[in-house]
Amino acid sequence: MGILIFALRRFLLAIPTLLGLLIVTFILANFMPGDPLARLLGDVGGSNPETVAAYRAQWGLDRPLWEQFFIYVGNLLQGDLGQSTFTRRGVMEDLLSFLPATVELGVAAILFAGIIGLALGSLAALFHNKWPDFLVRAIALLASGVPVFWLGLIALQVFYLQLGWSPGPEGRLSSRVNPPPRITGAYTVDSILSADSVAFWDSLAHIVLPAAVLGAFFLGLVSRMMRASMLDVLKAPYLMTARSKGLNTRTIAQFHVLPNALIPTITVVGLAIGGLLAGAVLTETVFSWPGIGRYAVDAAKALDYQAILGVTLLIGFVYVITNAIIDVVYAALDPRIRLGS
Amino acid sequence: MSTVTVTSRIGLSSPEESKAVLKVSDLVVEYHTARGIAQAVNGVTFTVHAGEKLAIVGESGCGKTATLLAALRLLPSPPSKTVRGSVEVDGTDLMTLGPKALNEIRGRDISIVFQDALSAFNPVLTVGRQISEGVRQQRKLSKAAAHELAVDMLARVGVPDPDQRAKQYPHQLSGGMRQRAMIAMALAGEPKVLFADEPTTALDVTVQAQILDLVRSFKDLAIVWVSHDLGVVAGLADRVIVMYSGFVVEEGPVEDIFHSPKHPYTAALLRSIPRTDEMSGTHELVSIPGSPPDLVALPAGCPFYDRCAVRVDRCATDRPTLERVGDTQTVACWVAQAKDIAS
């Protein structure tokens, strides 16, 4: 009961944040360097004041900024993010077609980094100041210290060119494999749903390396956080209480150590989601992954005003929503947050 | 703090007649520190009989808490190490048990109440669940039966509205209520021996008195109560052990310890309690000069030598052993033992 009310309140609080995000991105976009019109019209059209004026009137750019904003918000509420001057399609349509690939990659990266990070962090804490601890700390330092684009290139060099274990940077599938019918947009999921084993193994093979590269920073962060909070929990007086009651190791680990160690870790994970999105832009570029990151890079190169604004909004939206989700998870884990003191 | 009123206990059953439920023999605990090996507990030996209330007193760092934790094998190792000794609960030596057999006894035959109930409770589990989970595991209780047990235990320690309280989290309870809940948790397995590590120190005086009344009401339970507060001990214990730098320096019935302390440390400790029955102003609070010896480099002789007012030459070189002095007390002091022979 308590958690539902908490969740509702938290998501209602996200609405003003999203509105703020909308205002800030809109204003920023208006001060972006480079004139999108000049780019759009080319040298000839851009030098003709009449053509420019006609375009400005057509796109509503001659109206006051606040009026433009309300038109923009009005359109947004109807699912219209304007038109991309680069793909000549609706930005919303573009985002929806590129989003699943990024979500699939991001979720794969979080799962990979989360599971391995939690395991490594726990291991390090249990073997505090012994060799597994030193090893995990070295891995964490490397994983979170190396830039994503460099790590991506090195990973390709080793696992694709040298060892041949991984497919090359050719996107989500080999060219000879047909994509599964679109259900969720995530190839690995869709291929399972449509019982296409060829597409499943091929898409899985393609996602492992980029997901590992994208998740590396996250893995380092999660394992370090988990190690630190677990070390704290292992010293906590309530663990001595648990042992004094004759509880077996499994019960202690499952109900006393893990939930308490996860609380600080989850908080950090939430904050790191933003970094993951930034990393997605670079990872997708290195691995030719046809996602939002690639779309953003192309849009920026083309000074595609509407598309850049759309991507920025989407990333902000994902960030605000994931943080709301993380807060709810946090409250679910910790009754002190859920019920107040 | 509570007053020292030593009441004579008429009709106190002689400990020798009843059954020994806990026998701690020659317990030795070391801490491995950066400076070397600290000898925290040095050959502590005591016996507790069914229903008996034993108090272990001494200043902080004297090894009283370490003794309890080591006896339950709860001390984190490293840095600590229980080098020697046996701890027999109803004839079973905890020190030689495997983890499974040990967990059969911990929480069931012997359990412990800690000083700070807030940190001793897991913040993310309900109070009721934590009260019953040990018993639930041992007796394979259903969820409903476990809840019932928790409610029953909370009611027994005087927590009002136990059904609601069992469903709450530790932070939602008041300090006194939490301490009661922790006692309920320790008693859920119906132990024969209860260890109490200064469980009233963090509470205000009225709540402290309530908790002491509650503990006194457990007639059949053997209790080992660790405290630095002699006032609390006087109203609760049958027998007292005085510890100093990891050694037992004096042991005896509570009345005898308070009326005729044999060890100079015990005597100094008693002089340092504020007394409300001496309001004339002539009685000054006496502090014990000096500080306890470094546990990493214990002196060869008596550990109290540096601070002792009655020391003799022998005390610097020979460590005194516990010997019977008078009818009821045992004392580790050459001077007290010599006096006893002379008289």
Q: What is the pLDDT of residues B96-140, one digit of tens each?
A: 888 888 888 998 899 999 988 889 999 999 999 999 998 888 888
User: What confidence score (pLDDT) does residue B278 get?
Assistant: 55
User: What confidence score (pLDDT) does residue B120 get?
Assistant: 92
Q: Which tens digit of pLDDT belongs to each residue from A4-19? A: 888 998 899 999 999 9
User: What confidence score (pLDDT) does residue B275 get?
Assistant: 67
Neighbours of B343 (CB within 10 A): 7
User: What confidence score (pLDDT) does residue B185 get?
Assistant: 92
Asked whether residue A226 carries a pLDDT value surpassing 80, the answer given is: yes
Torsions phi, psi for B243 (to 5 deg): -110, 145
Taking phi first (over 0 means left), then psi (-120 to 50 degrees means alpha), and beta for anything else, what does residue B91 get?
Answer: left
Which long-range contacts (C-beta less than 8 Å, at least 24 apart) are formed by A195-199? A199/A173
Q: Which residues of B touch A339 (CB under 8 A)?
A: 169, 171-172
Question: CA angle at residue B171 from B167 to B174, to 5 degrees?
Answer: 95
- Which residue in A235, A241, A338 has the most chain B C-beta atoms within 10 A of its own C-beta, making it the best mutation to test that interface? A241
Please say whether the structural domain A91-301 has been given the CATH code 3.40.50.2300: no
- Contacts of residue A310, defined as CB under 8 A and 6 or more positions apart, other chains included, come to A81, A82, A84, A91, A92, A94, A95
- For A243, nearest residue in chain B (alpha carbons): B74
Are A101 and A289 contacting, i.e. CB atoms less than 8 angstroms apart? yes
User: What confidence score (pLDDT) does residue B2 get?
Assistant: 43
User: What confidence score (pLDDT) does residue B234 get?
Assistant: 86
Q: What is the DSSP letter of A290?
A: -
Q: Which tens digit of pLDDT belongs to each residue from B294-323? A: 888 888 889 998 888 888 888 889 899 988
Q: Which residues of B touch A336 (CB under 8 A)?
A: 123, 169, 171
User: What confidence score (pLDDT) does residue B10 get?
Assistant: 38
**Strands B110-113 and B193-197, how do they pair?**
parallel
- For A248, nearest residue in chain B (alpha carbons): B103
Cα separation, B73 vs B66, whole angstroms: 10
Residue closest to A311 by CA, chosen among A300, A302, A326, A321: A300
User: What confidence score (pLDDT) does residue A78 get?
Assistant: 85
Q: Which residues of B touch A241 (CB under 8 A)?
A: 114, 120-122, 130, 182, 185
Q: How far is CA B90 from CA A24, A173, B13, B238, in A?
A: 73, 69, 20, 20
Asked whether residue B70 carries a pLDDT value surpassing 60, the answer given is: yes
Pick the range with the lowest mean pLDDT from A193-197, A272-276, B125-129. Answer: A272-276
Interface list for B 94-153 with A (CB within 8 A): 99-100, 102-108, 111-112, 114, 116, 119-125, 130, 133-134, 137-138
Residue closest to B52 by CA, chosen among B8, B27, B22, B86: B22
Q: Which tens digit of pLDDT belongs to each residue from A70-123? A: 888 888 888 888 888 778 888 888 888 888 888 889 889 988 988 999 999 999
Q: Residue B239 — pLDDT band, cuts 50, 70, 90?
A: very high
Give chain B's mean pLDDT: 85
In chain A, pLDDT over 90 holds for what percent of residues? 15
Asked whether residue A300 carries a pLDDT value surpassing 50, the answer given is: yes
Cα separation, A9 vs B342, whole angstroms: 81
Sheet with B80-89, side-by-side order of all strands? B36-49, B20-33, B80-89, B92-93
Here the tokens at position A170 are 């050719």
Question: Could you give the 3-state DSSP secondary structure of residue A71?
Answer: helix
Q: Which tens digit of pLDDT belongs to each residue from B21-59? A: 899 999 999 998 888 888 889 989 999 998 899 999 988
Q: Is A260 on the interface with B (CB under 8 A)?
A: yes
Asked whether residue B13 carries a pLDDT value surpassing 70, the answer given is: no
Q: Residue A67 — pLDDT band, cuts 50, 70, 90?
A: confident
Chain centroid to CA B331: how far?
Answer: 19
User: What confidence score (pLDDT) does residue B8 get?
Assistant: 38
Residue closest to A152 by CA, chosen among A284, A290, A296: A284
In chain B, pLDDT over 70 holds for what percent of residues? 91
Are B312 and B302 contacting, i.e. CB atoms less than 8 angstroms apart? no
User: What confidence score (pLDDT) does residue A239 get?
Assistant: 92
User: What confidence score (pLDDT) does residue B55 get?
Assistant: 92
Torsions phi, psi for B282 (to 5 deg): -80, -25
Domain spans of chain A, in order of start: 91-301
Facing residue for B124 by CB, picked from A241, A247, A333? A333
Give the global pTM. Answer: 0.78
Please, is A84 exposed, middle or buried when counting C-beta atoms within 10 Å of its C-beta (0-12, 13-18, 19+)? buried
Q: Residue A55 — pLDDT band, cuts 50, 70, 90?
A: confident
Torsions phi, psi for A179 (to 5 deg): -65, 150
Strand partners, B110: B106, B193
Count helices and strands in chain A by DSSP H and E runs:
15, 0
Pick the range with the lowest mean pLDDT from A175-184, A219-228, B228-237. Answer: A175-184
**B39: distance to nearest CA of chain A, Å?**
22
Q: Residue A205 — pLDDT band, cuts 50, 70, 90?
A: confident
Q: Residue B282 — pLDDT band, cuts 50, 70, 90?
A: low
Neighbours of A82 (CB within 10 A): 19
Q: Is B157 on the interface with A (CB under 8 A)?
A: no
Asked whether residue B336 carries a pLDDT value surpassing 50, the answer given is: yes
Q: Residue B200 — pLDDT band, cuts 50, 70, 90?
A: confident
- For A129, nearest residue in chain B (alpha carbons): B78
B107 with A247: Cβ contact below 8 A: yes
Q: Which residues of A touch B72 (CB under 8 A)?
A: 244
